[in-house]
A and B are shown apart, each in its own frame.
Chain A
Amino acid sequence: MPVQVLMPALSPTMTEGKLAKWLKKEGDTVKSGDVLAEIETDKATMEVEAVDEGTLLKILVPEGTENVAVNTPIASIGEEGESAETAPAAAAAKPTEVKQEATVSTPSTPAPVPPQAKAPESDEDKYFKDVKTQTVREALRDAMAEEMRRDPTVFLMGEEVAEYQGAYKISQGMLQEFGADRVIDTPITEHGFAGLAVGAAFGGLRPIVEFMTMNFSMQAIDHIINSAAKTLYMSGGQMGCPIVFRGPNGAAARVGAQHSQDYASWYGHVPGLKVVAPYSAADAKGLMKAAIRDPNPVVFLENEIVYGHSFPVPTDPDFIVPIGKAKVVRAGTDVTIVTYSICVAHALAAAETLAEQGISAEVIDLRTIRPLDVETVMASVKKTNRLVAVEEGWAFAGIGSELAALAMEHAFDYLDAPVVRVTAKDVPLPYAANLEKLALPQPHDIVDAVKSVTYKK
């Protein structure tokens, strides 16, 4: 009985990839460990090794095929003389089934709803006349590269940023363009290199520090807070620290409790820091450029799952998103949903569901956590009279708690219902797929929250 070779996943967040090259042809003898093919995603290239011995009976997915879903049969291996025809039908015959299988193992990541369709007019609109479609990953790289071309004092340092091309491929090609003096691989030494970068900033440079994930910034948090954020004040205004600390933040997919934490409220707590957490590729690019040019320390919270999402990005090199400006990404009248980062996708998906049920939700992407755009949020709350705050962080002392307090201070008389927070459950993030999903805010949680504040069933 022939055995099927399935399209493997390279990472917990991979759902599909390209079958780049076949290294064996039909009829070849294979033994376990032989490299059969090469597959690629926008993040990495990997070899598919044979696990079974026998003859490569049939190649089911030709080389060069893009968007092959994880778990799709790509070949069959059997004993010589065995007919390939006895192998199950080719992938094309049952793509739906495979796709479903793949989704089970990955968290709910709704495809980005194009927000421009229902967003109100904004003074950023003029930049969107000429756009190209880019992933968040590409947008971040372009922003850094453009700023490094513009200012020779800007440099990038972190683990695997140079020769490896970035653990998440954010710095792809940057070593080649800027050289090893400006794209610097560090040892695994977060506390040390964060402090070193702060010193470089004091010395007149503009470092971009990549943490492989923001979880590891906890090793370095003393330098981010005590050395970077406080020194300007403690020096009576003499010692500015222009630096960007960036990296993927929040839950990825199935990476467990230590690698899945949202730091927005941690860093948002600290005067002397600016904290941004964009969702779209355009905002990622515009805010990254603003962060690099900012004379203050900026914590730039990215999201691994969103890295591969595509959005229209203005081509104008002067496109910059000012830090401290939220964006209404969907206009509505019945409730204000305020969120940031990947939860913007959840909120837009929820708003779509709610629209079908006759509830008009306004969705605000904060984009910046500190300084928070109180004006934009409160103008919306005063209009809709209801506020639902959504975040991947925990509820206690979270961003939603802050928004609730702000609503009391600025819009108490306008509220027709108590503010509701949709957050991660108050537990370390579990590994099991079902529990992980239960622990993180989902679109249906937002729908439920909106119904509770609008008193709808």
Chain B
Amino acid sequence: MAVTKRRTTRSAAPAAPTLPSKEELIRYYREMLLIRRFEEKAGQLYGMGLIGGFCHLYIGQEAVVVGIQSCMTEADSVITSYRDHGHMLACGMESKGVMAELTGRAGGYSKGKGGSMHMFSREKKFYGGHGIVAAQVPIGAGLGFAHKYNKDGGFNACYMGDGAINQGQVYETFNMAALWKLPTLFVIENNKYAMGTAQARASAGELFQRGSAYGIPGKQVNGMDVLEVRAAAHEAIEYIRAGNGPVILEMQTYRYRGHSMSDPAKYRTKEEVNKMRSESDPIDNLKKLLLEQGYADEESLKVVDREVKDIVTEAADFATTSPEPDPSELWTDVLVEA
């Protein structure tokens, strides 16, 4: 057990227990590709004026959520920030419902009343989608609290960015989560930029060590490699399920697009982005592995590509043809009628 209390580690190589099966690997490939294609389509619809407001794309970070979700069960819950489309798809929420929420239509998960940052599925135990940076962190610990209180065996996976980690409420939460041994996995998706501010300009020290004063074990992981993510998540979740309290995983990842659709990302060079894309792309690298291992050939992967493309096309069609919410919806859902 590499994750031990009062210890923070930087993983050099994944202590992968066993290589996942062929079927599992192909599933990860498919899930990551779905997120990628979905987000590309969302960017396109945004450009056409069909999606409004804020829209934060997950392109480049797919391995993080797919790797972690691969270790989770139906008892577990998920919460994240506003960069949330990938998490919803990874939780098994329908592409159609997510895309239709982006376009603000009645067929969206929140009937068009939430938008990109505010979608939920009680059925899939996905608790949002939160627009205030780091607000999901204490809420995630609260979901962990509920898992513990209800003794349902589940834990909460609470995702946050490298910007959120500097909010005070994160440390209020780390303290309580450690004190009460709450079953919560804190995943820092370090994509290097908090909007336009590079990590080095905003954060002192190492992010994976931010819980060490509270005795929360932390680990830095290559978040561009789904297998390394999976291995780290597996270990962390085992520790959490054993009743030891929270764990922090810092995923070193990268977003290819701007902070949101309206961000031209002038704070970094094209070369930097291109280098990441060509050398560290999580989907390309898994594809290489699948081919090398003989688990798939170009033809069979093309079939997966086509299936994913069909799902996304169908989602976009649904999202552009679903009606706008009825005007009467303005007044519904303010309060639960007792």
- Which residues of A come within 8 Å of B, CB atoms? 155, 181, 186-187, 189, 191-205, 222-223, 226-227, 231-240, 242, 271-272, 274, 293-296
Closest to A241 in B: B336
Contact yes or no, B336 A235, CB < 8 A: no
With A192-B172, A272-B335 known as contacts, the answer to whether A203 contacts B114 (CB < 8 A) is no
CB pair A238 B122 closer than 8 Å: yes
4 smallest beta-carbon distances between A and B, as pairs: A199-B142, A192-B172, A203-B146, A195-B138
Residue ID in chain B nearest A186 by CB atoms: B176
Q: Does B234 contact A (CB under 8 A)?
A: no
Contact call A197/B120, Cβ cutoff below 8 A? no
Q: Which of B33-41, B125-133, B221-229, B296-304 lies at the interface? A: B125-133
Tell me the complex Cα distance, A26–B36, Å. Answer: 86
CA distance A226 to B135 in the complex (A): 9
Q: What's the least CB distance linking A378 to chain B, in Å? A: 22
Q: Enumerate chain B residues within 8 angstroms of A231, measured Cβ to Cβ.
A: 118, 120, 128
Contact, CB under 8 Å: B333 / A233: yes
Q: By the criterion CB–CB under 8 Å, are A237 and B111 in contact? A: yes
Contact A236 B175 (CB under 8 A): no
A236 near B139 (CB under 8 angstroms)? no
Cβ contact within 8 Å between A239 and B141: no
A234 vs B110: C-alpha distance when bound (angstroms):
6
Residue numbers in B under 8 Å from A187 (CB-CB): 172, 175-176, 179
Q: Are B179 and A234 in contact (CB under 8 A)?
A: no
Instruction: List residues of chain A with CB within 8 A of the CB of B135.
Output: 195, 222-223, 226-227
Quick one: given A187-B175, A199-B139, A226-B135, are A205 and B146 in contact (CB under 8 Å)?
Answer: yes
**When the two chains form their complex, are residues A236 and B113 in contact, meaning their CB atoms are under 8 A apart?**
yes
Residues of chain B within 8 A (CB-CB) of A296 are 335-336, 338
Q: Across the interface, which residues of B come within 8 angstroms of A239, CB to CB?
A: 120, 122, 127-128
B108 touches A236 (CB 8 A): yes
- With contact pairs A195-B137, A233-B333, A235-B119 given, residues A200 and B128 touching in the complex (Cβ less than 8 Å): no
Nearest residue, chain B, Cβ from A370: B335
| Residues of chain B lying within 8 A (CB to CB) of residue A193 | 138, 172, 176
14 contacts between A and B (CB under 8 A): A192-B138, A192-B175, A195-B137, A199-B138, A199-B145, A199-B156, A200-B142, A222-B135, A223-B135, A227-B130, A231-B120, A233-B333, A237-B111, A238-B122
* Docked complex Cα distance between A205 and B77 (Å): 15
Residues in A whose Cβ lies below 8 Å from that of B172: 187, 189, 191-193
- Are A236 and B110 within 8 A (Cβ)? yes
Interface check B244, CB cutoff 8 A: no
* Shortest distance from the beta carbon of A185 to any chain B beta carbon, whole Å: 10
Rounded to whole angstroms, the CA-CA distance of A155 and B140 in the bound complex is: 18
Are B336 and A232 in contact (CB-based, < 8 A)?
yes
Give the complex CA separation of A226 and B129 in angstroms. Answer: 12
Give the B interface residue count (CB, 8 A): 49
A204: nearest residue on chain B (CB-CB)? B146
Please, how many angstroms separate the alpha-carbon atoms of A239 and B77 in the complex? 14
Give every chain A residue within 8 A of B147 (Cβ-Cβ).
Answer: 203
Q: Does B143 count as interface, using CB distance less than 8 angstroms? A: yes
Q: Out of A155, A186, A195, A272, which one reaches B139, CB within 8 Å?
A: A195
Give Cα A231–Cα B137 distance, bound, in whole angstroms. Answer: 16
Interface residues of B in 305-338 (CB under 8 A from A): 332-336, 338
Q: Does B168 contact A (CB under 8 A)?
A: yes
Across the interface, do B119 and A192 meet the contact criterion of CB distance under 8 Å?
Answer: no
Does B121 have its Cβ within 8 Å of any Cβ on chain A? Answer: yes
Residues of A within 8 A of B132 (CB): 222, 226-227
What separation, in Å, do the CA atoms of A200 and B144 have in the docked complex? 8
Chain B residue nearest to A187 (CB atoms) is: B175
Contacts of B9 in A (CB 8 A): none
Contacts of B131 in A (CB 8 A): 226
Which residue of chain A is the closest to B122 with respect to CB atoms? A238
Given the complex, which residues of A lie within 8 Å of B269, measured CB to CB? none
> Would you call A192 and B140 a contact (CB within 8 A)?
no
Report yes or no: B145 in contact with A200, Cβ–Cβ below 8 A.
yes
Are B169 and A192 within 8 A (Cβ)? yes
Give chain B residues whose Cβ lies under 8 Å from the Cβ of A294.
338
Q: Given A199-B144, A240-B336, output 17 extra A-B contacts at Cβ < 8 Å.
A: A187-B179, A192-B173, A196-B141, A198-B138, A200-B149, A201-B142, A204-B150, A223-B135, A232-B333, A234-B110, A234-B115, A236-B109, A236-B111, A237-B111, A237-B336, A295-B336, A295-B338
Enumerate B160-194 residues with CB–CB distance to A below 8 Å. Answer: 168-169, 172-173, 175-176, 179
